[in-house]
Amino acid sequence: MRGKARKALLERITRLVGKLNSNIYIPPNPNLDAGAERLMGLTRVYAADPSLGVPLDDIGYFGFHFSASDVAVLGAKPRIMTSTILLPSGFKEEKAVKIAEDLNWEAYRYNVSIITGHTGWYDSINEPVVATTVIGEARKIISPKLAKEGDLLMLVGILGAEFLYGAAHFNPEVLQRVSDRITVERWRRARWMLTVVDKARDLAMFSRVNGMKDGAEGGMVRLLNDFADASGLGFIVRRKSFLFPPELVRLGEILNFDPLAASSSGVILAAIPRNSPLDFLRELIESHGFPVSIIGKLKGKGRSIIVNEKIEEFPSESNDPYLLLRKLE
């Protein structure tokens, strides 16, 4: 097993909630990545995530953004963070300070206060792990539960960017089969594509949004199914509406995987009312540097995809090809 637990296991784990509390607004949910509580007219949103298995220069960056992104897609503004930095024995102290400095810089950029944390060296740790909890505040929660039948499904961000970022770092020779050295270097610097903190803010600012969720492991296959499970609705999408980087498509052909399953941190799936001014929204969001596409709509039941004008059942799960990169190293 690699990465986040599959749905069946999460359904068992998220039932274990400790003492029931009447202030809890969003309890643990296998389809969501954050929880929330209501206190004196304000809603606090909590999200926790680890950062590991990424280049050392980026581990602090992702340590902040993975958790902050989960807070942001519920319509909350990140405010407070805790950090835990676990290091293998022999890891240099100056490198530990550099990780903390990177966490500090990202928190500072987004006006987030680091309130507490833990840093330690352990024989049982084989590589650095940065685990954070980010707490945000919101006047109004934006949750997939608010989505309505007929809402349009909008994607904001670059599909498969996480997979291509990983390929550029862990197996550049494979990526170079379908691109050139300049393209490989561009994907090596693509960490900025793998956060949704700014995208979520822009969406909530420019449009009425009935629900958002960010991508991660499992790509669009997991994202669409999680959104449907969380909303209680079905969907129909059109295959040709998914805008994949050409390198991802060609790698899919070479390594025999579906680009829909490629890890896609940094992508937002949003449900917006069908009467929204789409051209206006597209112009505004794309002017901020984020690609936009309408891939389909929500419906009462069923999960379908239109491929070559034929309606097919959308896959319920798929193996993330990210593991292929590590096997090929």
Residues 167 and 127 in one domain: no
User: Does residue 22 belong to any structural domain of this protein?
Assistant: yes
User: Does residue 98 belong to any structural domain of this protein?
Assistant: yes
pLDDT of residue 265 exceeding 50: yes
Residues 163 and 88 in one domain: no
User: Does residue 1 belong to any structural domain of this protein?
Assistant: no
- Residue ending a domain, among 138, 157, 192, is 138
Q: Which of 258, 169, 170, 272 minimizes the C-alpha distance to 222?
A: 258
Residues 119 and 150 in one domain: no
**Residue pair 85/135 in contact by the 8 Å Cβ criterion:** no
Q: What is the CATH number of the domain that holds 108?
A: 3.30.1330.10
> For residue range 44-58, what is the model confidence (pLDDT) as tens digits?
999 999 999 999 999
> For residue range 79-123, what is the model confidence (pLDDT) as tens digits?
999 999 999 999 999 999 999 999 999 999 999 999 999 999 999
Question: 185 or 329, which is more confident?
Answer: 185
- Which pLDDT belongs to residue 328? 55
Residue 242 C-beta-side C-alpha neighbours within 13 Å: 26
Residues 157 and 125 in one domain: no
- Residue ending a domain, among 102, 118, 138, is 138
What is the SS3 assignment for 300? coil
Element (H, E) at 227: helix 219-231
User: Does residue 2 belong to any structural domain of this protein?
Assistant: no
Specify burial of residue 149 (Cβ count, 10 A radius: 0-12, 13-18, 19+): middle
User: Does residue 203 belong to any structural domain of this protein?
Assistant: yes
Cα–chain center distance at 317: 17
Range of the domain at 221: 144-327
Element (H, E) at 268: strand 268-272
- Which pLDDT belongs to residue 288? 85
Pairing of strands 42-51, 129-138: antiparallel
- Which pLDDT belongs to residue 40? 83
Residues 128 and 49 in one domain: yes
Amino acid present at 230: A
Residues 130 and 215 in one domain: no
Residues 182 and 306 in one domain: yes
User: Does residue 25 belong to any structural domain of this protein?
Assistant: yes
Q: How many domains does the chain have?
A: 2
Residues 173 and 92 in one domain: no
Residues 172 and 319 in one domain: yes
**Location of structure tokens 């069923």:** 302
Residues 30 and 155 in one domain: no
User: Does residue 31 belong to any structural domain of this protein?
Assistant: yes
- Which pLDDT belongs to residue 323? 72
Q: What is the CATH number of the domain that holds 222?
A: 3.90.650.10
User: Does residue 320 belong to any structural domain of this protein?
Assistant: yes
pTM for this model (two decimals): 0.93
- Residue ending a domain, among 138, 158, 193, is 138
* Number of neighbouring beta carbons within 10 Å of residue 306: 15
Specify burial of residue 287 (Cβ count, 10 A radius: 0-12, 13-18, 19+): exposed
Residues 163 and 127 in one domain: no
Q: Which of 142, 156, 144, 147 minimizes the C-alpha distance to 282?
A: 156
Per-residue pLDDT band for 1 (boundaries 50, 70, 90) equals very low
Average pLDDT over the chain reads 93
Residues 18 and 125 in one domain: yes
The whole-angstrom separation of Cα 254 and Cα 282 is 33
70 — phi, psi (to 5°)?
-65, -30
